[in-house]
Amino acid sequence: MNTKGFVICEYEKVKEEFPEFLNTLVRLEASLTSVCLADWSPLTYGGIYPKAGQFGKSTIMPELFYGFGQAAPTLTSWNTFATATGHQGLMSGSNALNIFEDYKIGLAGFAFLDKVQRITEFKLQIGDKKFPRINVEESFVYNKPAVIFETGIIVDEETEFDLHGYVECIGPYRICPLGIQMNRVPNKLQSSQTTAALT
């Protein structure tokens, strides 16, 4: 991703008005699948219904992340609460700031799901790679804005994930990562406790 490699749009209109997003997802899934096949051999790709000997895919799960301030409890939904203004940690990996082992993420963007927008810019760091700061103030005209990357980003297992932003006012907010999650051990997703960490 470069500084020109994203678009800000209305989240609810992405499918209608940005067919390029589907192309981004298709390329991202192909790249992520190749990485998983290489790293998790001899497992094969089982899609959303994996069988024994296969890894599967799902939407990105909130349990892989901490919310506001990086020391908050593991998320069980995308709902979190900003308790301070200024430059703050918005979301980080829930395994000591890293993504847990056995999970890889294909990140295509972020959706800001609140009618009241509290965040004016954000910056992302994955491992030792820092991405350019993205100003989202213009998104305040949208109902539910989304930032869609032109090229998806692969977040490897056991890699640091750190999303920082500038918070203008205290209160609840919801940021949802958009993309695909690959799961080496699909049974880990099947828990009777819906708030359980994906460890």
- Cα–Cα distance between 191 and 81 in angstroms, integer? 26
Predicted confidence at residue 192, as pLDDT, reads 43
**Residue-range definition of the domain harbouring residue 169:** 6-187
Cis amide prior to 73 (ω within 30 degrees): no
Q: What is the largest CA-CA distance in the chain?
A: 49
Predicted confidence at residue 138, as pLDDT, reads 77
Give buried/exposed letters for 140-159 (b at 16+ CB in 10 A, else e): eebebbbbbbbebbbbbbeb
The total of structural domains in the chain comes to 1
**Is residue 77 assigned to a domain?**
yes
φ/ψ of residue 35, rounded to 5? -65, -45
Predicted confidence at residue 186, as pLDDT, reads 80
**Is residue 196 assigned to a domain?**
no
**Is residue 80 assigned to a domain?**
yes
Cα 151 to chain centroid distance, Å, stands at 14
**Is residue 32 assigned to a domain?**
yes
Which of 94, 109, 181, 182 shows the shortest CA–CA distance to 139?
Answer: 109
**Is residue 130 assigned to a domain?**
yes
| Residues 6+ away with beta carbon under 8 Å from 11 | 111, 112, 113, 142, 143, 144, 145, 146
**Is residue 95 assigned to a domain?**
yes
Residue 29, helix vs strand vs coil: helix
**Is residue 197 assigned to a domain?**
no
**Is residue 192 assigned to a domain?**
no
Predicted confidence at residue 115, as pLDDT, reads 76
pLDDT per residue as tens, the chain (199 positions): 444 588 888 787 776 767 777 888 889 999 999 999 999 999 999 999 999 999 999 999 999 999 886 666 788 889 888 889 999 999 999 998 899 999 999 999 999 888 778 888 999 999 999 998 988 887 777 788 888 888 899 999 999 999 999 999 998 889 999 999 999 998 776 544 455 555 5
